[in-house]
Amino acid sequence: MRDVARGRSGRSDRDKLAPKAVIGRVSLYLRQLEAFQERGMTTISSSRLGTTLGVNDAQVRKDLAYFGQFGCPGIGYRIDELIVVLRGILGIDREWSMALIGLGNLGQALLKYRGFRGRGFRIVALFDNDPSKIGKVFESMTVAPLDSLAETTRSLDLEMAILCVPADAAQHAADIVVSSGITGILNFAPTPLVLPDRVNVVGVDLSVQLEHLAYKVHNSQIAGSIALEDSASSFRPTSTSLE
């Protein structure tokens, strides 16, 4: 699989980290390619792939060229092959074992989300420091105290952790995650974490995302109002005299 992920340039996708925006679009390309595959399509052009996602064809080619050259002249991209390549680039051509830390409302909702498994992510251990939750069973897994994370990490080969804890508990929980040997954290706590460079953290602040959405909707409404005012001001009814 690694040979495939090098593409025709021979450059490994691990030689350097791609920008966050590129990886975000690659994930979208993969999902769209899988949708095309389900329809029975076998090849796709950069133009058609980009059009479905609102991305121009030059950007599609530039993003994919970051990892190698995968297109075929006169054909475009072979969908089956490109799916394999992109899954390898994203690291989801294998399964990832994860710990879920924090079994509040958000943690329980994420535990029930079935989309993780389809992308290769498996929550295999649950942790919380709330005595009322420790020992409870969710989705056939028993909640363990957070201080047992290191032992569980070794026994289950945990590689990632999802933090669903309050902001004031996030840094302490993250420190325990790091000391256990886990190097990937998906942080849902609305606070930045101070961690060693070897630890990879992706933050998901739902409030920030809603604020971004509110900004876009608000400014769309303002733009719409201005357009209506301009349209109204440009309309000048012709006066006629009745004799």
Number of domains the chain is built from = 3
Residue 235 has what pLDDT? 59
pLDDT at 4 over 50: no
DSSP for 44-82, written as a single string: E-HHHHHHHHT--HHHHHHHHHTT----BTTTBEEHHHH
Residue 243 lies in a domain: no
Report yes or no: 92 and 120 within 8 Å, Cβ to Cβ: yes
Residue 125 and residue 45 in one domain: no
Q: What is the DSSP letter of 17?
A: P
Residue 145 and residue 182 in one domain: yes
pLDDT at 5 over 80: no
Q: What H or E segment, with its residue span, contains residue 187? A: strand 184-187
List pLDDT tens digits, range 109-168.
Answer: 999 998 898 889 999 999 999 999 999 999 999 999 999 999 999 999 999 999 999 999
Domain boundary among 32, 65, 90: 90
Q: Residue 143 sits in a domain of what CATH number?
A: 3.40.50.720
d(CA 181, CA 199): 9
- With pLDDT > 70 as the criterion, what percentage of the chain qualifies? 87
Report the predicted TM-score, pTM, of the whole model to 2 decimal places. 0.79
Domain that holds residue 123: 96-203
